[in-house]
Each structure stands twice: as structure tokens, then as C-alpha cells.
Amino acid sequence: MNTIATPACTLSTPLAQNGRPLVEVDGITKVFDVSAPWLNRVLERKPRLLLHAVDGVSFTIERGETLALVGESGCGKSTVARMLVGLYRPTRGRVSIDGYDLAELSGPAGQALRRRIQMIFQDPYASLNPRWKVADIIAEPIRVHRLLAGEPAIRERVGELLRHVGLASTDAARFPHQFSGGQRQRISIARALASQPEFLVCDEPTSALDVSVQAQVLNLMRELQKQDRLTYLFISHNLAVVHHVADRVGVMYLGRIVELAPKRTLFATPQHPYTRMLLDAIPDVGMTGRSRTPVAGEVPNPLNPPSGCTFHPRCPHANERCRVEQPLLQRAPGGGQAACHAVEEGRI
């Protein structure tokens, strides 16, 4: 078997020995200009429209850990994911991997760092090139990063990766349309693993799959995490999936993290009212008889968010302070953090 050559430009990792988190996100913000064209604004006397998709998000991810981000559609989860892999550049803030700032790296050093970061997209039907055979799809990262020399070695590595994700090496000669949805997602995972990454960003990787196939893919990802010592950022709106895969959970609402806690703490003793509403929306199949508060209201327009705590129009515990002052993430009971004045004041 051919061993994978390490690129000459690969970054050394002295920071890995001092206990520093693999991923550090410090106050990242992403603002999109969704204004009408300049001439239209002048003629119609319309102001510029700025969409704050992500607003001051901070967190860390330890090596080998899975951090899940959850929330309703449009809360900014996928935007955070794209900033962590370099598809979007933050308007403000900093993303560092193993101590290296993604924004400041360019050239060979930057390419070596990006080899250690890969992404698994939501739709396995759209994320694979339909004109390429599976062999070319999986081999592309190997060729781009020059991990192996010679086509025989590359073909052998592609076969190993296919077997690693539960497919046959002979599948390399087929096209994506010849596979089911679950098999295509396995191919996407194999492609992500081809560059030997340390950090995988998974943007709702199972939401387009049937429930039975979801379980297979999730179990595969957990096995691969143990075998290859992977670190995950897992984006999802499905709390059952999050409970299955996550170590810690961050709850997002209108571009901000409103609660961040270990999985067991968050599911057992949620602090933020929004987190409680999300958990109450899960069907009570156990017939526990616990009182439940249904999710009330709708997500406000992100182009014109409410003042103060953006959740206050839907919150049963809101007071005047909530309407005028934005809460910050602070320590909460159980080892987590919550951005809520009611929790801070002990009203809930």
C-alpha cells in the first residue's frame, strides 16, 4: 500500500501540544449589502439595506470534539459554516485554525492549512459534479494538494477511501447519478477525507436523506471521527440528530448565539427561553405529562431586527430591559452560557 506523502508546504503544528483549541472563532460578523442598485436608490429615495446574517459569534472547538449549531432557518448557521472554511470572508472578527488566522494566510502556507479543513454539504445531489466519475471526484483533493505521485497510487487511495465509507472500490468507475442519496453522501464524505483533514464542517449533511439513511450516515461519521481523530462543526435544525452526534450545542437566533452548553446540560436543563421552546417542539413520545410551551410568533425580519434582545417579541419573560438592552453570553447554571436578562436576574 502506498503511503500518503506530506506536502512540503504543510504547516508545523507546535500549538497542538499546549492544549489550545483546534478552532477559535472570535466575534465574527457577516454583513451582506442587499440594497437596490445605486440609481434605483437615488430615483426612488431608498436607503441602503444591510443584512446582518451573523453578528458577533464566538466559540471554540477542542480537538476531537463535535460542536453543533442549531436554530430556525435563516438564523445564520450556514453562514458561520462558510466563514469557517473560507468561502465567506468575515466582515469583522477572526477565525483561526490551530492558531493560524484564515484571513492572513495566502500562498503555499494557506493552501496547506486549508488542506486540513473540509466541508460536507447539505445536498448530495448538487455537491457532486454529474459529469465526473466518482474516481475523479474523490481524487481531486489528492491532485490539488499533491498528496500522492502517480495515477496508480491515486487510484489505490480512492479505492481505500471508498471502502473506508462503506462502498466498494469498483464504485469509482460509476457516475453520481447511479447512486442513491445515502451513497452519494458517502461519496461526499470520502471526498472530504481525501485530503486527510483534521476539521470537518458538516452543513446539515443528513437533512436531504430518508430517516433510515440518516442513521447510517450519522453512525458512519461517528465511527470515522473515532478512527481518524476528526473534529466536527455540525450544522442542523434537527435536535434529535444533534442529540445523537454532539458534545456541545450552540443555539442561534437571528445571527447570534443565545445559548452554548454541553449537550447533556442543554437537553436536561435549558436556560434560554428560545432553547426551551425548541425543545418543547419535540414530540413527547414518552408521554411524560410535562408542561410544554409551544413556539410562539414568527422570526422577525432580519433586515429590521428588534431592539435589545432580538427574541423579546416572542419571549414570555421579556421586560423593559429586554426591549432596550442587548444581552451578552454569560455563565449559566450547569456549566453553559446564556444570553438572557431573565436568566441573569434569576427570573426563570
In which band, very low, low, confident or very high, does the pLDDT at 104 lie, cut at 50, 70 and 90?
confident
What percentage of residues in the chain have a pLDDT greater than 90?
60
CA dihedral 268, 274, 279, 280 (to 10 degrees): 120
Neighbours of 70 (CB within 10 A): 23
pLDDT for res 155: 94
Fold entry, domain 23-271: Rossmann fold (3.40.50)
146 beta partners: none
73 beta partners: none
* Average pLDDT score over residue span 84-106: 88
pLDDT for res 193: 94
pLDDT for res 322: 94
* Average pLDDT score over residue span 141-155: 92
In which band, very low, low, confident or very high, does the pLDDT at 10 lie, cut at 50, 70 and 90?
very low
pLDDT for res 286: 59
* Average pLDDT score over residue span 297-313: 88
> Residue 242 above 80 pLDDT?
yes
pLDDT for res 285: 56
Parallel/antiparallel/unpaired status of strands 256-262 and 248-253? antiparallel
pLDDT for res 262: 95
CATH 3.40.50.300 residue spans of the chain: 23-271
What percentage of residues in the chain have a pLDDT greater than 70?
90
Does residue 50 or residue 105 have the better pLDDT?
50
In which band, very low, low, confident or very high, does the pLDDT at 281 lie, cut at 50, 70 and 90?
confident
> Residue 303 above 60 pLDDT?
yes
* Average pLDDT score over residue span 107-132: 86
pLDDT for res 341: 94
Q: Which of 10-14, 162-166, 179-183 has the lowest mean pLDDT?
A: 10-14
Parallel/antiparallel/unpaired status of strands 117-120 and 199-203? parallel
3-state SS class at 154: helix
Using alpha carbons only, give the angle 187, 191, 195 rounded to the nearest 5 degrees.
155
> Residue 291 above 80 pLDDT?
no
- Residue 257 · residue 79 · CB < 8 Å: no
Cell numbers of 56, please? Answer: 458577533
Residues ≥6 apart with Cβ < 8 Å to 343? 271, 272, 330, 332
In which band, very low, low, confident or very high, does the pLDDT at 299 lie, cut at 50, 70 and 90?
confident
Residue reference for cell 445571527: 255
> Residue 28 above 70 pLDDT?
yes
Does residue 251 or residue 38 have the better pLDDT?
251
54 beta partners: 30
- What are 59-72's pLDDT values in tens digits? 999 999 999 999 98
- What are 191-224's pLDDT values in tens digits? 999 999 999 999 988 887 888 888 888 999 999 9
> Residue 239 above 90 pLDDT?
no
Cell numbers of 315, please? Answer: 419571549
Separation between Cα atoms, residue 348 and residue 343, nearest integer Å: 6
CA dihedral 3, 231, 195, 111 (to 10 degrees): -120
> Residue 280 above 60 pLDDT?
yes
Q: Which of 222, 272, 270, 277 lies closest to 244, judged by CA?
A: 222
- Residue 325 · residue 282 · CB < 8 Å: no
- Residue 76 · residue 253 · CB < 8 Å: no
> Residue 42 above 50 pLDDT?
yes
pLDDT for res 300: 86
* Average pLDDT score over residue span 227-244: 91
Helix axes 151-164, 181-193, angle to 10 degrees: 130
- Report in angstroms the alpha-carbon separations of 278 from 69, 71, 272, 300, 332: 13, 8, 10, 16, 18
- Residue 57 · residue 27 · CB < 8 Å: yes
* Average pLDDT score over residue span 2-15: 38
Q: Which of 5-9, 208-212, 280-284 has the lowest mean pLDDT?
A: 5-9
> Residue 167 above 90 pLDDT?
yes
Cα 107 → chain centroid? 26
Parallel/antiparallel/unpaired status of strands 92-97 and 23-33? antiparallel
Does residue 148 or residue 290 have the better pLDDT?
148
